[in-house]
Amino acid sequence: MQIIDLSKTIEYNPNDPWFMRIKIKHKPHNKAHWLIRLFLGLPKRLFPEKFTGWADDTIKNMGVHSATHIDAPWHYSPTCNGERAKTIDEVPLDWCYGPGVVINMTHKEDNDPITSEDISRQVEKDNLNIGQGTIALIRTDRDKYMGTKEFPDRGTGMSAEATRWLIDKGVKVMGIDQWGWDLPLKYMVKRAKEENNSRLFWEGHLVGQDKEYCHMEQLTNLKSLPLQGFKVAVFPLKIKGASAAPARVVAMID
């Protein structure tokens, strides 16, 4: 079996937006010997041979929407179709593992939304099998900007109709290899103000108000996958009551 990593490395990056910068404190081995001696009471003469202590690390600042993550229905709205929306710890694990397909949207220009026609045409062209439990991966190749200041502002985005199209085919989990699921945030704000249209902002996410689904953001390496014939695993951290969670997303090819 070949396992392909689709996840962004969790690390500090000064080019990330200020509200999403991850800060990690790395503690070297020799820092722990004081803890072992003073708190645990083990004298240094009883340390095992060549043992100087254990390494440790602390994530000091990391939002659940930083790095590669999966959004829960709760992120989009407090309710879904009139019922309380699921938080990330309530998302069924069987949603998070299944056959994957790659839908190639690399031809879409920045700020040009992906429509249901775009999706259906590509699915038909590539003869993709999409059904109950399929995990759909939208390939834009905008992960090439990952780590740069441009990353949040580059990309296409899934329209509400395209998102609904996938859900209606049986897809519960879908993902994209750019900063966000929708069009870039700044562009959405600009367009909504110019057109005085309240339906333009966050439209892909807001499908979750009436259709239950999860999506992944900031995937990478989708270009290394075949169009289908692989499995995807995307198990989120079990964070009580959270709107999302970081996940190590991988594809498995027999």
**Could you tell me if residue 73 is left (phi over 0), alpha (psi between -120 and 50 degrees) or otherwise beta?**
alpha
DSSP secondary structure of 195-242? HT-TTSTTTTGGGGGTS--EEEES---GGGS-SEEEEEE-PBP--TT-
Residue in 239, 252, 183 with CA at minimum distance from that of residue 70: 239
* pLDDT tens sequence across 142-174: 999 999 999 999 999 999 999 999 999 999 999
Residue 223 has pLDDT above 90, yes or no: yes
Q: Which three-class secondary structure state does DSSP give residue 250?
A: strand
Higher pLDDT, 96 or 35: 96
Per-residue pLDDT averaged across 232-240, rounded? Answer: 98
* pLDDT tens sequence across 115-147: 999 999 999 999 999 999 999 999 999 999 999
Residue 191 token pair? 């367009």
Query: What is the residue whose two structure tokens read 């309380």?
Result: 84
- In angstroms, the Cα distances linking 197 to 110, 162, 189 are 20, 19, 10
pLDDT at position 228 is 98
Among the ranges given (29-38, 96-105, 196-205, 209-218), the one the predictor scored with the smallest mean pLDDT: 29-38
- In angstroms, the Cα distances linking 206 to 35, 74, 76, 99, 160 are 49, 11, 6, 25, 8
* pLDDT tens sequence across 85-117: 999 999 999 999 999 999 999 999 999 999 999
Residue type, 203: E
pLDDT at position 211 is 98
pTM listed for this prediction = 0.95
Residue 247 has pLDDT above 90, yes or no: yes
**Dihedral in degrees, nearest 10, Cα atoms 200, 201, 205, 208:** -70
Which domains can be identified in the chain, with CATH numbers?
Answer: 5-9+65-253 (3.50.30.50), 23-61 (no CATH)
Residue type, 213: Y
Pairing of strands 228-233, 23-27: unpaired
pLDDT at position 233 is 98
Rounded-to-integer distance, Cα 38 and Cα 142, Å: 50
Residue 249 has pLDDT above 90, yes or no: yes
Q: What is the mean pLDDT of the chain?
A: 96
pLDDT at position 161 is 98
Pairing of strands 23-27, 56-61: antiparallel
Residue type, 35: L
Give counts: helices (H), strands (E), the chain: 5, 15
Q: How confident is the model at residue 33 (pLDDT cuts 50, 70, 90)?
A: confident
